[in-house]
Amino acid sequence: MPEHRHEGAEAPRVAVRKTHKLYIGGAFPRSESGRSYPVASADGEHLANAGMASRKDARDAVAAARKAFPGWAGRTAYNRGQVLYRAAEMMEGRRAQFAAELAAATGAGRPEAEREVSAAIDRWVYYAGWTDKAAQVLGGTNPVSGPYDNRSAPEPTGVVAVLAPQEAPLLGLVSVLAPVVAMGNTAVLAASERAPLPAVALAEVLATSDLPGGVANILTGRTAELAPPLAAHADVNALDLAGAGELAAELEEAAAETLKRVLRPDPAVEWEADPGLSRIRPFLETKTVWHPVGT
């Protein structure tokens, strides 16, 4: 006989398991390898699958970042600040999602996770505020002996490869990504391997904000697989080794082959602390020009 259900009873359903994609050039492609890997909570519960980016995906991300660089670097500092502030507004609208993913990934209580979300949003706003102020602090007019003066101004380095810290998967992520793009660089970021979901959520925020596609490219997968091709890539101008761990020395040696700027990892960094200019200055270059004085 057919099964009867009481009126109003809900049919059982199967949970929809997510397989997240990469974020390259403003789009969400699958890894060209077709691979993914399971992401588990601090308690070992399956949360989702994340795309496992390949070397080819890393090269595609660098190409997207290079294509986006002239337009982004050419914007006024004030406009870049507006764009980043809009992203912070959208992060604020996703507070509950970020807090839930942080609590699951790290095993922290909900209040602690919410504090990290607040700190990450505040950090994003902090760097948005630096966009039109860094030149005043790091540039200036230099006294010379002659009928001319010498003026120095900071300019973005170019494409920066960033290895996000494995700990503090949201605050640490924002602390390394925001200063890079705030100063007019474009970024290829390898997310925390163990806890990539906050990076995926941030990619969704950036995709629906005013940030042009290709300015920030976010890859998930094995850090040991993604870091070497990024460090050796001739079209990457700088490298942030915040999340490199034991790979740092090897990656710094690879980066030296193409004369990259390298920001070495600092085990003493506390992501909650005020970073000041410590993550802004390394990815700027100083351009000096000479101007005649007088009539």
Instruction: Give me the domains of the chain, ranges plus CATH numbers.
Output: 40-269+278-292 (3.40.605.10)
3-state secondary structure of 161: strand
pLDDT higher than 90, residue 96: yes
Report residue 186 as tokens.
């474009």
Averaged confidence pLDDT in the chain:
92
Q: Give me the DSSP letters along 197-241.
A: HHHHHHHHHHHTSSPPTTSEEEE-S-HHHHHHHHHH-TT--EEE-
Provide the edge-to-edge strand list for the sheet that holds 186-190: 216-219, 186-190, 159-163, 238-240, 261-263
Report pLDDT for 29: 97
Residue located via tokens 């050796």: 232
Radius of gyration of the chain (CA): 21
Rounded CA-CA distance 90/71 in Å is 23
Q: What is the pTM of this model?
A: 0.91
Report pLDDT for 7: 61
Report pLDDT for 220: 97
The per-residue pLDDT for range 20-40, each reduced to its tens digit, is: 999 999 999 999 999 999 999
Report pLDDT for 8: 60
| Contacts (Cβ under 8 Å, ≥6 apart) of 63 | 235
Beta-sheet strands, E only, within the chain: 36-40, 46-51, 140-142, 148-156, 159-163, 186-190, 216-219, 238-240, 261-263, 284-292
Rounded CA-CA distance 80/127 in Å is 10
Report residue 191 as tokens.
């997310």
pLDDT higher than 60, residue 1: no
pLDDT higher than 60, residue 2: no
The per-residue pLDDT for range 162-221, each reduced to its tens digit, is: 999 998 899 999 999 999 999 999 999 999 999 999 999 999 999 999 999 999 999 999
pLDDT higher than 90, residue 142: no
Distance between the two ends of the chain, CA-based, in angstroms?
103
pLDDT higher than 60, residue 261: yes
